[in-house]
A and B are shown apart, each in its own frame.
Chain A
Amino acid sequence: MDPVADSPEEPVKEIAMPRSLFYLGSAGLLTVMIVEAIAVAGRHLRYPLLGALEIVQAAIVPTACAAMVITTLCQAHAIVHLLLDRLPQPLRGWTRRAGWFAAGVLFAALCTGEVWLTGDFWNSFEETDVLHIPLQPLRILVTVTAGLLAAIFFHRAARAERA
């Protein structure tokens, strides 16, 4: 697997992505980094940061959601190229569209499931144990993300169809 796909010694290039998503994801990521580092230092200095784990859990959700949308917009999903690259051009285009459509179906289904779950938990006021961080906004964010991913994939499949 290749978690770090860039070649760092190349000149730094701007990666095109919506600013709002970049700031949302970065804010979550930096929050996780700082909170955990403070928690470690605090624990070893005998000043434990209570609820650090819950802050991390809450901050990682916007990071993950923004990251999944960014990856989709950048078309950076992991794909097996063995057969795809050897197909003739029209067939390759068709299979790519089929792949995007399949992705749209999956995320539309997941979005439906998330709407269902969010509705079920609406009146139960889920929250974390120590800091009482409400989980409802996080569920809504995940639902919106799944819907957004479905929309992007369907749009890409449809646009490619017209082209």
Chain B
Amino acid sequence: MSGALGISALLLLLAIGVPIGVAMGLVGLVGMTLLIGFEPALIKSSVVLFEAVSRYELGVLPLFLLMAHLCFAAGASRDFFAAAAGLVGHRRGGLALATIAGCAGFGAVSGSSLATAATMGLIGLPEMRKRGYSTALATGSVAAGGTLGSLTPPSGALIVFGIIAEQSIGKLFTAAIIPALTQTLFYMATVIVVCRWRPGIAPASPRLPWKERIASLVRVLDLAAVVGLVLCGIALGWFTPTEAASVGATLSLALCAWRRRLNRKSLRHALASTLRTTGMLYVVIVGALIFAVFMSFTGLAQQIASFMQAFQGQPIVAIIAIAVLLLLLGSVLDGLALMLLTTPILLPIVTGLGLSPIWFGIFLVRTMEIGFVHPPIGINLYVIQGIAPDIPLARVFKGVLPFLAADFLHLALLIFVPALALWLPHWLS
């Protein structure tokens, strides 16, 4: 009862615009006060605050953010798009394919869906419109491609999940590699199918000479090497995620200097942007951890888990029910709120059903990604419309529909074939 009341209060506070971290922390603190008394609730919450801000593992967040901002400063987004456009841009729908490939490459350095959609939108969208692409396909490919930023490791969403769920961030990153690759392939297949069905919506562009194509590929080699080293280092156990993030940030700083893009202004901007976003994430994580402690006192997760015992023989049914619940919640809550609200409740249920928490992290982020492109929230759709205000929102949504279908197919694949996420970490271990 107290758990359900707490969730209702949280949803109300979120709806009236209370900052997410504050809403979770406040509900957690008040809820604990009612359950265990004011003094223990206050002490417990304050212990959570100090432990969170002094936690070694949380250092991974600002360091990966700094790496992303330094890669921006080095011109990563334009280079990734140029390399992909050079390779496939001359084919029918090639620029849409290049946008998706660019999103996958850039998503690996940005770790964020919104940043990937906004950045690739600024680069890919004008190019596609100039070449006569349908506005629906152009905006749809950018909006959907942008979601790759959340899953492609190193991903901010997976770091936050790892901290809240107390799971290995390295394992989560390794587990996300194949789902992110297959998601990219699903989106590319969608573009190919749509272009075969209606060839007029994406005319072919002139073919670039091989010399230029190779030059554009060479330009991203250093960036790809940094990302590759960070991911390989984590996957092969050369360093911890926090160490990987510091190596990545240091190399990105060196890369910026190597490319002559490092100056006082760009470094200051990278640091200031990193600090501003880091503060937002710390408040959210502290609030979520206080809320999670409150949830553990309510016993709500155990009650739902005992109800879920009915599905013991068929966890797939339970997972489909959870997926539907997440998709419904994802249509009214933004991705971060969805993850932080549901993780303390759903994780014990999922592990109770005998499923891997690492798999659940990937599944949760994948579901969250779908929320980025489906209305009424669909934040990526609004980002794209902000970049191209002359394109109506309905047109952007129409463009994203085929990609949404691909998303649902991919989610189903992830549910029915958990090895998609679990095989690589298992094999590497």
A interface list, Cβ under 8 A from B: 1-10, 12-15, 17, 21-22, 25-26, 29-30, 32-37, 39-40, 44, 53, 56-58, 60-61, 63-72, 74, 76-84, 92, 95-96, 98-99, 102-103, 105-106, 109-110, 112-114, 116-117, 135, 138-139, 142, 146
Against A, the Cβ 8 Å flags (1 = close, 0 = not) of B279-292 are: 11111100100000
Write the chain B residue with the least CB distance to A112. B42
Write the chain B residue with the least CB distance to A71. B279
Write the chain A residue with the least CB distance to B73. A8
Asked whether any CB of chain A lies closer than 8 Å to the CB of B22, the reply is yes
**Contact across chains for A32 and B62 when beta carbons are under 8 A apart:** yes
Using known A-B contacts A7-B118, A70-B279, determine if residue A78 contacts B20 with beta carbons closer than 8 Å.
yes
**Contact across chains for A117 and B17 when beta carbons are under 8 A apart:** no
Against A, the Cβ 8 Å flags (1 = close, 0 = not) of B101-122 are: 0000000001111110011001
Q: Which 3 A-B pairs have the closest CB atoms?
A: A113-B46, A71-B279, A8-B72
**Contact across chains for B272 and A29 when beta carbons are under 8 A apart:** no
Number of contacting residues on B, CB 8 A?
Answer: 94
| A15-B276, A64-B278, A99-B16 given; 7 more Cβ-contact pairs under 8 Å | A3-B281, A4-B111, A60-B54, A99-B19, A102-B13, A114-B46, A142-B49
What's the least CB distance linking B292 to chain A, in Å?
A: 16
Asked whether any CB of chain A lies closer than 8 Å to the CB of B293, the reply is no
Asked whether any CB of chain A lies closer than 8 Å to the CB of B61, the reply is yes
Against A, the Cβ 8 Å flags (1 = close, 0 = not) of B324-345 are: 0000000011111101000000
A95 to B250, CA, bound (A): 43
Q: Chain A residues near B16 (CB, 8 Å)?
A: 83-84, 95, 98-99
A138 to B249, CA, bound (A): 25
**Contact across chains for A33 and B66 when beta carbons are under 8 A apart:** yes
Write the chain B residue with the least CB distance to A6. B273
**Contact across chains for A117 and B50 when beta carbons are under 8 A apart:** yes
Asked whether any CB of chain A lies closer than 8 Å to the CB of B45, the reply is yes
**Contact across chains for B247 and A76 when beta carbons are under 8 A apart:** no
Stretch at the interface among B136-144, B175-183, B193-201, B238-246: B238-246
What's the least CB distance linking B337 to chain A, in Å?
A: 6
User: Pick the contact of A102 from B18, B46, B284, B379 — CB < 8 Å?
Assistant: B18
**Contact across chains for B112 and A1 when beta carbons are under 8 A apart:** yes
Using known A-B contacts A40-B243, A67-B279, A113-B43, determine if residue A15 contacts B58 with beta carbons closer than 8 Å.
no
Asked whether any CB of chain A lies closer than 8 Å to the CB of B274, the reply is yes
**Contact across chains for A6 and B115 when beta carbons are under 8 A apart:** yes
Stretch at the interface among B23-31, B352-360, B413-421: B23-31
Q: Chain B residues near A98 (CB, 8 Å)?
A: 16, 18
Asked whether any CB of chain A lies closer than 8 Å to the CB of B393, the reply is no
Write the chain A residue with the least CB distance to B386. A7
Stretch at the interface among B205-213, B263-271, B300-308, B309-317: B263-271
What's the least CB distance linking B54 to chain A, in Å?
A: 5
A95 to B418, CA, bound (A): 43
Using known A-B contacts A80-B20, A82-B332, determine if residue A56 contacts B280 with beta carbons closer than 8 Å.
no
Q: Chain A residues near B281 (CB, 8 Å)?
A: 3
**Contact across chains for B17 and A95 when beta carbons are under 8 A apart:** yes
**Contact across chains for A1 and B339 when beta carbons are under 8 A apart:** yes
User: Pick the contact of A114 from B49, B339, B368, B377 — CB < 8 Å?
Assistant: B49
Using known A-B contacts A9-B123, A80-B14, A142-B50, determine if residue A33 contacts B63 with beta carbons closer than 8 Å.
yes
Name the residue among A65, A74, A92, A109 with the largest chain B CB count within 10 angstroms.
A109
Name the residue among B50, B56, B332, B337 with the largest chain A CB count within 10 angstroms.
B50
Name the residue among B58, B283, B332 with the largest chain A CB count within 10 angstroms.
B283
Q: Chain A residues near B23 (CB, 8 Å)?
A: 102
Write the chain B residue with the least CB distance to A117. B46
Q: Chain B residues near A99 (CB, 8 Å)?
A: 13, 16-19, 22
Q: Chain A residues near B376 (CB, 8 Å)?
A: 82
Q: Chain A residues near B246 (CB, 8 Å)?
A: 32-37, 40
User: Pick the contact of A36 from B17, B78, B247, B332 — CB < 8 Å?
Assistant: B247
A29 to B63, CA, bound (A): 7
**Contact across chains for B63 and A81 when beta carbons are under 8 A apart:** no
